[in-house]
Every structure is written in C-alpha cells, then in structure tokens.
Amino acid sequence: MILPCIDLMDGKVVQLVQGREKALEGDAPLEMLRKFAAFPEIQVVDLDAALGRGENSALVKSLASMARCRVGGGVRTAERARRLVGQGAHRVVVGTAAFTPALAQIAEAVGPERVIIALDSKGGKVVVKGWQEATEFTAEHVITHLEPYCCGFLCTYVDKEGMLQGTDLDWFRRLRAATRHEITAAGGITTMEEIRELAALGVHAALGMAIYTGRLNLDELAALEREVS
C-alpha cells in the first residue's frame, strides 16, 4: 500500500527535512486530500502537536471525516487517542508514548487494532519527541516487545527524511524479518523501484517529499498502488 502524507504545521501542509527545516508548503489541506483521492489511506501528522506547540485539531477532524486516515503527532495520552478516533481517525500513530506506561493505556482505550507505533531511527537509535531526543534502543531490538500494543509499525529512516536521496532498504529488510506485524516505511523513499522493492518485502510506503516536489508522479503512483495492492 502507498500512503501519501499530509503533514500539518500552523494550519498549512508542509514538508520538513529531518523533522527540522521547513523545505516547502503544499496546497491547502483539503486540496491535497482531493489530489490523493486515488489512494486507499492517507497519513496525517500534526507536527505542531508532535512538537508540543498546539494542535491542528479542526483540520485533522475535517480530513479524517473525508478519507480513511491514520493520524499521528502528539498522541501521548489515552484521552488524545480516544479524541482522534472520535474525530474519525481510522488508526492513531503513537511515537514518544510507546516508551512510557501510557502505551498500555492507549492500547486499552482504543484497541491495539487501531494503534500504529512509530519507530523512527536516526543514527541507528530510536528518536522521540518530534525526533528531538534519542533513546538507547534500536528499532530491531524493541519491535517484538511492542507487538502486543499495536497492529503495525511506522518506521521512518530519519537520516534520509526529506532529502530525496533514497532510503535504507537493508534496514527495512531487518525490520521485516523481526516482526509479522504490518510495517510502513518512510524516510527518503524517492523512486518507483524502491516502492516496488518494499512491496516485494510486504512493506507499505509512506511518501512525502518525493510527491510534493514532483519527483514521483501521482498518476504513476496510483497505477502502482493498484498493481501491488
């Protein structure tokens, strides 16, 4: 499955490089949703919530009411997870809270089948708090321990995020070997060949910068989505 990404900051659709520097702005959120209509699921991330500086809740609610969306960004409590599901989110993406006692509470509140755990790796270690803080864990080490609390993992190779330099397919091969849960790859995916290789591994692809810069064509991606789904 191919998942186009809508990342929200200050009410706008943006793309960041490695979670820090804003590289570009997209069209209005609902216009981007219209452009992505051919895809079965959209990934929506509230970057302001992830960075602890407010929320784009009205926009998230609007997007989730119009398409099947997995929503992340600042999902650190059971209350926020419940609220997002109540707003229409098909699934919630949990990052920082996956390494706190709140994870069990979130899974209990909305059900593990609605939880995707973000395992974002930079320099070989899982990073949290909007990718600002490194943990001592590797994704390969913790992934099996987190399986009871989720239905899948969103694994971002932060070292290449937003850089249009390709991703690390070997890392995704190791993750695929480590769990039977669903895996969605993100971070640096730039070519149709990479998406095909990921699909051959049974790994979904979440795409941002390559779509927004026109490096990947939406019509070609939609055709590939039909082919691999």
Distance of alpha carbon 6 from its chain centroid, rounded?
Answer: 10
- The secondary structure of residue 22, as a DSSP letter, is E
State pTM to two decimals. Answer: 0.93
Domain that holds residue 147: 2-228
Q: Which two tokens stand for residue 192?
A: 């149709």
Residue 150: the pLDDT is 98
Residue 133: the pLDDT is 80
Residue 200: the pLDDT is 96
How far apart are alpha carbons 107 and 117 in whole angstroms?
10
Residue 20: the pLDDT is 66
* Residue type for position 194: E
How far apart are alpha carbons 178 and 99 in whole angstroms?
19
For 152, how many CA atoms within 13 A lie in the half-sphere containing its CB? Answer: 15
CA-to-CA dists, residue 69 to 33, 46, 120, 136, 142, angstroms: 10, 12, 20, 31, 26
**Is 7 among the residues known to form the active site?**
yes
Q: Which two tokens stand for residue 21?
A: 């520097």
pLDDT in tens, the chain (229 residues): 999 999 999 999 998 876 666 778 888 999 999 999 999 999 999 999 988 889 999 999 999 999 999 999 999 999 999 999 999 999 999 998 999 999 999 999 999 999 999 999 988 888 887 777 888 889 999 999 999 999 999 999 987 776 677 899 999 999 999 999 999 999 999 999 999 999 999 999 999 999 999 999 999 999 999 988 7
Query: What CATH number is attached to the domain comprising 178?
Result: 3.20.20.70
Identify the active-site residue in 7, 46, 48, 159. Answer: 7
Identify the active-site residue in 120, 159, 170, 219. Answer: 120
Residue 162: the pLDDT is 62
**What total number of domains does the chain contain?**
1
